[in-house]
């Protein structure tokens, strides 16, 4: 993840305030995929998803994002997604909410998360095949965004389910893709 992309947490956080109806849909979609139980979020940014959904911890690399969010009362751990400070099978679920696409080595981050998780990994991001115009706009503000993260997810040869959520942002149709990767066959 390029920390340089996230030097303005106020600007990042403001987007969610300005697009509350979309944000609420995203939260509902993520909650549906996570289900009940303890989870941590990797690449948590300002805590808009894991913090609001009561993650037991938020993992973030950017000092500015963490500092900006400390007054929200969330529990942060400063760490890189490719070097997680977690024991094997130490957390029920792990969430990547709009973060795997910014991690420099998404395949390694998934492996790290898979080692640390007991039940499932939930990944929610823009569908790069169906939200191209919006992604091109996004890349102009966030240079490290990588739409190829999806290849790492699909190559991750584990039992998974795929979900979609679509909505309009102005005149653009946005499609989110959600993956649930299960640790054990049949567990949810």
Ranges of residues in the chain with a pLDDT under 70 are 1-7, 132, 135-144, 157, 184-188
Report pLDDT for 137. Answer: 65
Query: What pLDDT score was predicted for residue 141?
Result: 62
Q: What pLDDT does 159 receive?
A: 86
Q: How many CB atoms lie within 10 A of CB 56?
A: 14
DSSP secondary structure of 76-134: EEE--TTS----TT-EEEEEEES-GGG-S-HHHHHHHHHHHEEEEEEEEEE-TTT-HHH
pTM value is: 0.88
Q: What is the pLDDT of residue 136?
A: 67
159 CB neighbour count, 10 Å cutoff = 13
Q: CA–CA separation, 150 vs 129, rounded Å?
A: 10
Q: What are the beta bridge partners of residue 40?
A: 57, 94
* pLDDT at res. 142: 63
CATH code of the domain occupying 3-182: 3.40.50.150
């Amino acid at each position: 993840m390029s920390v340089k992309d996230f030097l303005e947490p106020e600007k990042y956080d403001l987007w969610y305030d300005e697009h509350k109806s979309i944000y609420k849909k995203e939260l509902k979609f993520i909650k549906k995929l996570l289900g009940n139980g303890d989870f941590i979020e990797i690449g948590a940014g300002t805590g808009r998803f894991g913090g609001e959904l009561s993650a037991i911890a938020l993992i973030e690399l950017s000092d500015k994002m963490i500092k900006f969010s400390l007054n929200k009362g969330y529990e942060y751990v400063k760490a890189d997604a490719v070097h997680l400070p977690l024991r094997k099978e130490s957390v029920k679920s792990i969430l990547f909410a709009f973060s795997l696409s910014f991690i420099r080595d998404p395949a390694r981050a998934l492996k790290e998360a898979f080692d640390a998780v007991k039940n499932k990994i939930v990944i929610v991001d823009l569908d790069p095949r169906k939200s191209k115009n919006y992604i091109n706009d996004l890349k102009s503000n966030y240079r490290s965004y990588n739409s190829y993260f999806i290849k790492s997810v699909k190559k991750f040869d584990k039992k998974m389910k795929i979900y979609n959520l679509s909505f309009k942002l102005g005149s653009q149709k946005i499609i989110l893709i959600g993956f649930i990767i299960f640790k054990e066959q049949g567990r949810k």
